[in-house]
Structure 1
Amino acid sequence: MKMTESFCNASFVDESPVGVVIVECIYISLLSVLGIFGNLFVITVVIYTKSLHNPHYFFLCNLSGFDLFTNGFLMPIFITTLIDVNVTAGFCEVIAYLRLWTVGMVLCTLSLMSFNRFMKVVLKKETYRRFTSKRWILLMIVSTGCITCPLPLTPLWGFGEVGFNVGLHHCTFTYSYDGWLLAVLLESVGLGVTVLLLFITNYVIFKTVRDSKRRVDLQSNSVNKNSFAFNIGTGTVRQKQKDNNKVASIMLAMIFTFMICWLPFSIAMFFNQNCTVPVPLLRFMDLLVWTNSTIDPFIYAYCNSQFLKAVKRLLPNWLNA
């Protein structure tokens, strides 16, 4: 097993009680089962509902796909490493790269979802359609994948280290100074840039919708409110504003959930250069990180009226099949 001989590894002694390990295994198992069900359900509903075949739901399926990979593949391996730390070094490094790359792709997909909603609200309909064709969407996905790949691979070029983390008990950046460097790099570039982009795009969305509402209110005070054309026009605009606000609110809920799950761990890692943060606290915050991939589909399913309508149409057919 590859482990850097640093202050961290040299001074670390795993004293986790058996009971704690059992609780961790049960918790991760529940996350895995719920996450597999939730993410598969989201993907299935989108595939079987033609009205959901649009860029926003394509990115949602993409997000669910990466979360499903975490729930169905990475979490069972995490449970294995909690029970038995004798994992082959090469295999553990591959799993660490996959874990870090998956997190990067989740961040990029959240950014694309928010940017897509930003374009739909800000750009004209014809311009939006031009930039959300199948070719452009595929290009965006491939581009984000290419951008995300090099960052977790920096240990291959001598910066940082991945392998079995003796503190967290799974395959990721190592419990060492080199592992800390890699964690700080990924969190600064990935998490920092993504959160900034998400907040900027959603702020512009809410501001645009608010300004549009004000214009409609001003127009309503200057024209005949009994006019049939006026009622139809303002009704359509207000409904569009309401829909944009709902989707933006769901995106913000997903962002805040992501931050609640990731921010404590990220802050702790920034101040853990000499491994001074208590390991039990780190492991608790790490469990929050794993929780994120399970929560996303349930947030979306319970908050999105269009998705719920699709579920209500499909469930009777599935139950009677």
Structure 2
Amino acid sequence: MMKKLFTTTILALSGLMFSCNDSVKPQNTANEVLDLFVSSVNDKNLEPLNAVFSPKAKIYEQGSVDDSWEHYRDGHLGKEIEEMANMTFDIEIAESLVNKEMALLRGNYLIKGEMQGQQINSAGLVTLSMQVEGDMWKIVHLQFSRGCKKVATDHAAHGAVNDDKPKPKSPKTAAMGNAGNTHIHIDYSSPSVRGRTIWGGLVEYDKVWATGAHRATAINFSEDVEINSTKVPAGKYGFFTIPGEKEWTLIINKNWDQHMSDDYDQKQDVVRIKVEPEVLADTQEALTYSVTKINDTKASVAIAWEKLKVSFEVKAL
């Protein structure tokens, strides 16, 4: 529970540091929103934060939707803030993308404080998405790693946190963007080439692949969309592919909560798309998803790894 509080807090802080550089700016500035967040936490009064969280905001943990902002505010977050004292925050944004209507931030956080007489030292990775709704920046998605480290007792508080633990070879990450007013959020694990033969080697041809590592890749649409002339209701789905030497099959499936493609069932498919892979000029070391705006209603979802790239279009309804 503490991990959720810390990460949610830092995520909100990180996102609120950004402002839109477009000529048309929201009414709230980054500094105003940041000041509002800090004062709300310090005053132990979360009600003012309602203005900077979208009604559709979701808090994510390792790819699973944990709570709405309202439920989290009235539950875990509110209760735990009452028990916290002497908190200090430090955050470093490692990657960011901002345009007129949307901001995506990824970075590292560190939080220190005291709770119920215990010293807390927590660190991890954060991802935050903000969106302009009406005339204000609002937080729509929060996602955090479970890589938090905590010093559980006063006796251990003087010990150094072990940051020498090897980094995962296929770290969990996310990609997100908009098709019109529909938010697209993708959670996946990102393996790297590391000198291996990928196509026809590590990834077998003509077999269903989770298109990532560990858990199945999950894709979430905030509103109904159209993919390959098929209506896909709002919600969360598994994304799978069947790579071929000359043609790939891209699959949207109802079962997103599974290990790799162990429980894949074709009867649960919502959409199947045939595409030809694009050959890249340069090697893409880590498997990477991206969501790119095409026009006011469409976006392209792309997957690139090694020297291949495949993509499909999503249309807002």
Instruction: Assess same fold via TM > 0.5.
Output: no
Larger Rg, first or second structure (1 or 2) = 1
TM-score (normalizing by structure 2):
0.22
The structure whose residues are more often strand, as a share, is 2
Q: Which fold has the larger relative contact order, with Cα–Cα distance below 8 Å and residues 6 or more apart in sequence? A: 1
TM-score (normalizing by structure 1):
0.21
